[in-house]
Amino acid sequence: MSAHDHAYEQDTRRQWLTLGAMCFALFMIMIDNTIVNVALPAIQRQLHAGPSNLEWTVNAYVLAFASLILFGGKLGDRFGRKRMFIVGLVLFTLFSAACALAQTDNQLIIARALQGTGAALMNPLSLSIIVSAFPRQMVATAIGIWAGVSGLGLAVGPVLGGFLVEHSGWAAVFWVNVPIGVIATAVCLWAVVESSDPSTTTLDVPGTILITAGLFALTWGLVKTNEHAWLSAYTLSFLGGAAVLLAGWLVWELRTDQPMVPLSFFRKRVFTAANVVAILVGFSLFGSIYFVTLFFQNIQHYSAIEAGVRSLPMTLMILFVAPIAGKLNARFGSRAPMTVGMVLASIGLVGLAQLEVTSSYNAIWPFYVLLGAGLATTMPAMSNAAMGAVDPRKSGVASGVLNSARQVGGAMGIAVLGSVAAHNANNTWQTKISALPADSHAKAEQLTQLVLGGQTALVQQLSGSSQAAAAAGVSFVDGLTSAMWIAGGLTIAAALVSFIGLRGMKPAPRHDGPPVAVEL
């Protein structure tokens, strides 16, 4: 073997090991998104967490993640993507252990927030490291595999979480991250080649403060809408503050020589379209999946493990379709996969909008398959389109923008679709209980919050009325289906944005022979 062939083989090995390390890290983040939800009841019992603090075990992580994700991408561009990715990986691993060791709910909340800071570094930099490691014609395939692993994390999370909580306790859902983090760190240290943006010589401190504070205020305002009305002074003050901060950030970015996010990104139609689709995907899919999980456990009374197993048709489709979609994207470009993917997701959501309390699983899983196929077809193409539209040297912050769009979209989806579902469920509930006897009506009137969460068993226990429990189930499903119709409309809008916004986009040129060297 010649020296040239040996070098080529070694470069190829490093590329695939790099992809493996990024997939390990993404798997850890994705599994954390779903595995913790399964453990919440056990955490509530053992740490004596009140409803508000229990909610913060989720929100603390989401707030840190969504607020810092842009900053994480920028740090990688400035100080080295490998270096900052490993910092994020170590933080995530250490604070996963801290979560497992927490003795009080407040300790757990603090550890979850710090865990979110690690995820904010890892998530955008994993994508930018892949873009730097692979030649342009192989990026789409690599992103497809990377996206498929995210599906595996989502698929395994509920099932693994249910098993661990049942057999080892809630702390095990955090301990599982530690060996994964150690392996990923070791592979990163050996295989990943450092890359950065040499044109970034300073950090935009005012821009960083403004965008981080703006995203924090926006995410906080959205996640608190389940406690405060949309038009309350509390909600409006945070959303208004977010608008002021983000407007101030835009003004500052236009004036500074080295902005945190080059606004020229958004003059590229393809980049803007990909980010709009990311917001719509987060809004429609993350929000709607949340309700189906409640439907399985609270309306159809499946256990956590049983509900997790029943979500597999969607998440396994992501696992199997995403790598194939990456290859199709490399061959045909991003426009067709994104458009078709969003149409498939729309059909899945509209199908789920037909659910009833007594719907069999056979009326659900085909639409879960379509949802999974649609998401798996869209996500690699969306990532490839956004990253291909910008200078590879800016890939860290570009990835941060894309991931931030998806996270904020997800927070908006849960808040807005949750409000719509709650409003319609409450209207149906009030109509249903008006027909009950006066004594039952008075008891049922006090159980509205349980109805909005679909907790029919508790409604029956506290009201002593099977009629009230049946009415609660119908009311919750009415709210769920209204949210599904809106989500389906948004994914159709995403299909139109993809079809129009990505017109004229060509697939990456294909080359034979050794990969093209990446300039670092």
Measured between alpha carbons, how far is 143 from 384 in angstroms, rounded to an integer? 7
**9-23, 72-86, 185-199, 456-470, range with greatest mean pLDDT:** 72-86
Two domains, one topology: 7-203 and 265-507: yes
Judge contact between 386 and 37, C-beta under 8 A: no
- 23 is written with which tokens? 């997939």
Model confidence pLDDT, tens digit, residues 376-391 = 899 888 988 888 888 8
Class of the 265-507 domain?
mainly alpha
What DSSP line would sit under 464-500, residue for residue?
Answer: --HHHHHHHHHHHHHHHHHHHHHHHHHHHHHHHHHHH
Of 379, 314, 297, 408, residue with least CA distance to 352: 314
- Using pLDDT thresholds of 50, 70 and 90, give the confidence band for residue 130: confident
Radius of gyration for the chain, computed over Cα atoms and rounded to the nearest angstrom: 23
User: In the structure encoding, which two tokens stand for residue 19, read together?
Assistant: 């992809």
Q: What is the pLDDT of residue 346?
A: 95
Question: CA 100 to CA 108: how far, in whole Å?
Answer: 8
Task: Summarize pLDDT for 31-87 with one digit per residue, the tens.
Answer: 776 677 778 778 878 888 765 677 678 778 877 887 788 888 888 888 888 999 999
Q: Give the model confidence (pLDDT) of 264-287 as tens digits.
A: 888 899 999 999 999 999 888 766
Q: Is 464 left (phi over 0), alpha (psi -120 to 50) or beta?
A: left
Region 278-297 average pLDDT: 80
Contact (Cβ atoms closer than 8 angstroms) between residue 453 and residue 298: yes
Mean pLDDT of 430-455: 76
pLDDT in tens, 411-424: 778 778 888 888 88
Mutual angle of helices 438-445 and 456-463, in 10-degree steps: 130
Domain 7-203 sits in CATH 1.20.1250.20: yes
Nearest by Cα to 46 from 100, 113, 110, 95: 100
Angle at 192 between CA 385 and CA 31, to 5 degrees: 65
Helices (H), 102-204: 105-133, 136-168, 172-175, 177-191
| Average pLDDT value for residue range 488-493 | 95
Domain limits, the chain: 7-203, 204-259, 265-507
Please give the span between the terminal C-alpha atoms of the chain, in angstroms, as a whole number: 28
- Ranked by mean pLDDT, the top range of 43-47, 239-243, 293-297, 299-303 is 239-243
